[in-house]
Amino acid sequence: MPRTLPLRDELDTWREFVETVEALRNALAARLQADTGLSPADYVVLLALSEADGTRLRSSELATRCGWERSRLSHHLARMERRALIRREECATDSRGAEIVLEPAGAQAFRAATVPHLRAVRELFVDALTPAQLAAAGEIATALRGRLQSM
């Protein structure tokens, strides 16, 4: 794609984007923790499990859905297991694998976190933008993700 802005302007735009995304992630994380006691990582795992058939996933599939390396997932699942949010079971079809199962306490924590988390997303992200800006942000995110997936 041909350059339309001077390099300095491109770099300024990039820096503004990176710093804003990081500030937004930090604000959402702090709000989620304060409102629900869950970390963003907890929420990602609970979301993936709550959407899965039977609220269970193979650990490799859960790592893929979360976009994490398996070692990161394993460490985080150990912390969640100690809090009785999830449990690990041997996979019935493959003795080498494990399935991660959403526990009732995890399902309850996820349900309780959803409304406050979505309220924070609306307040900190959606309400800061006009409808046209929100549509443009969606188009930008789609274009970036498509580019990354094609590489």
Q: What is the pLDDT of residues 52-93, one digit of tens each?
A: 999 999 999 999 999 999 889 999 999 999 999 999 998 777
The answer as to whether 134 is a domain residue is yes
How does the average pLDDT of the chain come out, rounded?
A: 93
pLDDT of 99: 92
In-domain check, residue 16 = yes
Q: What are phi and psi of 102, to 5 degrees?
A: -75, 120
Does 19 have pLDDT greater than 70? Answer: yes
State the CATH number of the domain containing residue 31. Answer: 1.10.10.10
Residue 24 falls inside a structural domain: yes
The number of distinct structural domains making up the chain is 1
Categorise residue 55: left if φ over 0, alpha if ψ from -120 to 50, beta otherwise. left
Classify residue 1: in a domain, yes or no: no
Q: Which domain holds residue 33?
A: 7-149
Contacts of 76 (CB under 8 A, 6+ apart): 41, 42, 45, 68
Give a yes or no: residue 2 inside a domain.
no
**Integer Cα distance of 27 and 5 in angstroms:** 31
Helices assigned H by DSSP within 7-124: 7-36, 40-51, 59-66, 70-82, 104-124
pTM for this predicted structure: 0.83
Q: Does 60 reside within a domain?
A: yes
Residue 116 lies inside a defined structural domain of this protein:
yes
